[in-house]
Structure 1
Amino acid sequence: MTSIEARLDEIESRIAIEELLNKYCHGFDRPDRDLLRTLWAEDAVFDLGPLFGDPANGVEGIMAKAEELWAAVPVMYHWMADPVIAVDGDTATAETELNCLVISREDGPTQVVGVYSDRFARIDGVWKFQHRVFDPQLWAPLEGWAATAGSKAEQTRI
């Protein structure tokens, strides 16, 4: 049996990591550059797989990759689900499912499905992405899809 403090730290860490996963979605979807920048360790690696080009290294490289993505796919709606998180002191891992609706400049409305595999580090008491790898399992353009109403419907007409 572990101490109450250790168990509480693991619970708090899991909550913080789930919030980090959610902030990633908000950072890309809004887009919120300031928020996105805060989520990464200085030496982080961000690898979205062969569909999205070479991995990005370090915060500046990751932000440059984000700008490339926003230029090609200016509208994103991420839904991440089923995170399986393992905490080990100041490091952790997770696998999380992704379902994402995007509006691609090339393919138009597209459904993206895959799995993120993550390594995290707690740095100065804050959980950050250390290494994020995406396995894109489906890229499925949605012929005939069109938003007809809603506060961002106009934004989907690229």
Structure 2
Amino acid sequence: MTTRTIEERLDEQESRTAISALVAGYCEGVDHDNLELFMSLWHSDAAYLIPGGRGDFHGTEGIRQSQVVIGKAWSSTKHWTTNHTVAFENPDVATGRSDCFAVCEHHDGKVSLVSATYVDRYERRDGTWRIAERLVKRWFVSEGQDIKLLEPF
């Protein structure tokens, strides 16, 4: 068993906190139309991969374009991400997985329920953790339903 120093253990805990903030920031950025926050989560050469017709987006401009594509599909979204796991390959590279449930409002007011798993790669470059790759594995997207939405806060 390799003994790690307190500095190495502390670095891992701080890294886990920073990586968790990326996962939460993704939901915050998308759900609250905060493009600045959303874009700050990604490395400039990152990949955002959404199979099944949404597209694969690469680099800063591609990832920015993803929000235009998603905006054409949904007028609003609300994501809940859970079961986040992180495994470190080395002190500056980690992989993660989290499950997501989302309520997505169509432009006609109908609502679809979406379930997905995010498979991520995080990298710390120049001292900052960001997403290097996110693969979205959608499990289901329900047909649009007429449900009463409450007024937002």
Output the TM-score relative to the length of structure 2. 0.92
Q: Confirm or deny that 1:132 pairs with 2:129.
A: no
CA contact (8 A) 1:51 1:136 kept: no
Root-mean-square deviation (Å): 1.5
Q: What is the aligned partner in structure 2 of residue 155 from structure 1?
A: none
State the aligned residue count. 150
Task: Give a deviation string over 1:83-134, Cα, whole Å, max 9, x none.
Answer: 0101221111000000000102378201100100000111221110101000
Cα distance in structure 2, aligned partners of 1:51 and 1:13: 33
1:1-158 aligned within 5 A = 1-52=3-54, 54-87=55-88, 88-105=90-107, 108-141=110-143, 143-147=145-149, 149-151=150-152
Report sequence identity in percent: 27
Tell me which amino acid in the other structure corresponds to 1:109. Answer: V
Cα distance in structure 2, aligned partners of 1:115 and 1:67: 22
Tell me which amino acid in the other structure corresponds to 1:4. Answer: I
Moved more, 104-113 or 135-144: 104-113
Is there any run of 5+ residues in structure 2 with no aligned partner, and where? Answer: none
Tell me which amino acid in the other structure corresponds to 2:67. Answer: A
CA contact (8 A) 1:40 1:128 kept: yes
CA contact (8 A) 2:106 2:144 kept: no
CA contact (8 A) 1:120 1:130 kept: yes
Cα distance in structure 2, aligned partners of 1:96 and 1:107: 28
